[in-house]
Amino acid sequence: MSVLSAAALAALQGLTEFLPVSSSGHLVLAGWLMDLPREGIMFEVVVHVGTLIAVLGVYGRDLVGLLAGALRGERRPLRTVGLLALASVPAAAVGLLLGDLVEESFASPLRASLMLIITGTVLFAAGKARRGGAELPGIASALLVGAAQALSLLPGLSRSGLTISGGLFTGLRQDSAARFSFLLAIPAIAGAGLLKLMSGEATSIPAASLVVGLVVSALVGYLALRALLRFLQQGRFQSFCYYCWVVGALGVVGTFLKGIP
């Protein structure tokens, strides 16, 4: 993988990790269009670390305050940490028990395209949902958001799109749904990177490409997350559905024209 290819894929990862358009789906389609083989896990680990740096750059102070409050035994931080732990269980279980099946789904650009269309439909429905005023989910709501995160392990299903939508469906305010989603992303992104690293696969990617991938994914991810929060404040979260529908439809047409299942 050249430095230029690494920068392009890292920018794509950083941009789409937090915008509700599925980073995994875009990487599957981009890899197919650019005819790039999957060259081991190290590049994926590096861009995961980059996006983790991005989310910590936005929510790091919030996370530190939350953990400090929980250690002091304060009720609200303890409840928030407990809900985040509960919501993390579904994705962790799927990743550990069904990791091979999830990995196989990355070989199908058609499947990723169809999942993008589903993501767009969920975003459209969330935009029509009645606005709630809750700041924290209940236990059932946290499990629903966690289940949405588990589903988003499939390429084309957006993690941020599904989890924020799940929060909106269960009555959370938009800013609260985003906060819970991205705090939940911290262990999810870290865990995904750790699982890939523990797989022990070798990589032939040059060190320079890995460094570029880390820096670009962190910078672009930070900017994308800030942009998404502005979209939420402006009530424009739903507008990403049209992008998902168009890219998904183009992907479906393209795969059939190329004869790829």
Could you tell me the residue ranges of all domains in the chain? 3-257
Contact criterion met (CB below 8 Å) for 161 and 247 = no
Please tell me the distance from the alpha carbon of residue 165 to that of residue 132, in angstroms, as a whole number.
Answer: 12
Whether pLDDT at 189 is above 60 = yes
Quote the mean pLDDT of the chain.
86
For range 201-218, the mean pLDDT: 81
Cα separations in angstroms, 205 against 71, 210, 258: 42, 7, 28
Whether pLDDT at 84 is above 60 = yes
Cα separations in angstroms, 102 against 108, 148, 153, 154, 198: 11, 15, 7, 6, 16
The pTM is what? 0.88
Please tell me the distance from the alpha carbon of residue 170 to that of residue 164, in angstroms, as a whole number.
Answer: 10
Question: What is the per-residue pLDDT for 98?
Answer: 78
> Which of residues 234 and 218 earns the better pLDDT score?
218
**Residues 103-117: tens digit of each pLDDT:** 777 778 899 999 999
Structure tokens at 146: 């966690």
Cβ neighbours, 10 Å, residue 145: 29
> Which of residues 24 and 21 earns the better pLDDT score?
21
For range 74-78, the mean pLDDT: 92
Give the pLDDT band (50/70/90) at residue 204. Answer: low
Whether pLDDT at 200 is above 60 = no
**Residues 156-174: tens digit of each pLDDT:** 999 999 999 999 998 898 8
